[in-house]
Amino acid sequence: MGRVYKALVRADRWSDREHAIGSTTSNDRANVSIKAQPDPPVSPAIDNQSARPDLVFEDSPSSAVRVAPAAPALRRVPVTAQPKPHINVAPAAKVFEEPVEIHNISSLAIAPHLVTLAGTDARAAERYRTLAARLLSMAERSRLKTFLITSAEASEGKTTVAVNLAWSLAKRPERRVLLLDVNTDSRAMSHALGIASKNNPAARNGLMRLDPNGLYALSQAAPSAGALAELASRFDIVVVDSQSILESADTQNLAASLDGTVIVARAGRTDRRKVTAARKFVPKSKRLGLILNEIDLDAEGSFTRARKRSVFGKR
């Protein structure tokens, strides 16, 4: 019995030691303190106020339990609306509207000297096609779109050259060409095409199309710079038939504003001094050349090398 009693005593003592380490008995309550955990880091969206003191709950005079403070309340941070990025949207390209007035040259009384339309002179028509090819080469090389056809004096044949040249340029369907007649005193273009005899106001003043080449034609007073820019945006090439440059201030203004100028002279008739005076009204950078009109193609000897160089020669 003595041995058993001693063993029990030792077990009881061991049990007491266990209570001191892990728990408290009901008769001998020890002070227990629960350490508060450190506050979590404050995010930018939380109100960053000073830390509050720990809250202490008194259970009895001899015991106190410390409780970690509650997490601070989140503060609603207003979100500033970001401005929408500005996107530049290009304006929609204007749709080209075909004119109401459309003529086929087979139904018109074309003047015989419009050889490219009337088919009255194959060799002369070939010369105009050659001139058109050279003008296109200049246009592509120097990015030209608007061309003035003028002369030093009246009745030099500039309307004949303008119509034949424009018709040759318009032969390609992918190229939109406008023949603009600002020579409103005589309306030579409408008469030569046989349209003025119809006495149709739309034919004289409105846009029309001449088939089968699809050449667009328009007769009106000398347009303003803004009107010219608008026409240039609608067409690939604009050929302007004007009055003589020595007699018209409007033509002089056109020579300064259009991309290039061609002067027409009649072989054996036009005074050289007037041609020289006419060239002075054209800026040097816009002088495309001189066209000699009414050359006798049968007399090949009269068409000298010097004259050949003067046709769309050096500026």
Q: Choose between 298 and 258: higher pLDDT.
A: 258
List pLDDT tens digits, range 239-259.
999 999 999 999 999 999 999
Domain assignment of residue 94, yes or no: no
Mean pLDDT value of segment 13-26: 45
Domain count, the chain: 1
Is 159 inside a domain boundary? yes
* pLDDT of residue 39 exceeding 70: no
Q: Are strands 237-241 and 63-67 parallel, antiparallel or unpaired?
A: unpaired
CATH classification at residue 144: 3.40.50.300
- List b or e across 14-27, with b for residues whose CB sees 16 or more CB atoms inside 10 angstroms: eeeeeeeeeeeeee
In a domain, 61, yes or no: no
For 152, 181, 280, 307, the CA distances from 252, given in Å and listed in that order, are 11, 15, 10, 25
Query: How confident is the model over 222-239, as pLDDT tens digits?
Result: 788 888 899 999 999 999
Q: Is residue 66 part of a domain?
A: no
Mean pLDDT of the residues in the chain: 75
Domain assignment present for residue 232? The answer is: yes
Q: For 70-125, what is each residue's pLDDT tens digit?
A: 555 556 656 566 666 666 665 665 788 899 999 999 999 999 999 999 999 999 99
Question: What is the residue type of 81?
Answer: A
Containing domain of residue 256, as a range?
101-310
Q: What is the pTM of this model?
A: 0.66
Pairing of strands 177-181, 215-219: parallel
Q: What is the pLDDT of residue 117?
A: 96
Residue 236, CA distances (Å) to 69, 140, 141, 209 in order: 81, 11, 14, 15
Q: With respect to residue 285, please indicate whether it lies within any of the assigned structural domains.
A: yes
Q: Tell me the pLDDT tens digit for each residue of 134-191.
A: 999 999 999 999 999 999 999 899 999 999 999 999 998 889 999 999 986 656 788 8
Percent of the chain with pLDDT over 70: 60
Provide the H-helix boundaries in the chain.
2-22, 115-118, 122-142, 158-169, 188-193, 201-205, 225-234, 249-257, 272-279, 305-310
Confidence of residue 287 (pLDDT cuts 50, 70, 90): very high
Tell me, yes or no, whether 119 lies in a domain. yes
Measured CA to CA, the distance from residue 281 to residue 307 in angstroms comes to 22
Question: What mean pLDDT comes out for the span 7-15?
Answer: 44
CA R_g for the chain = 49
In a domain, 125, yes or no: yes
- Between 33 and 242, the more confident residue is 242
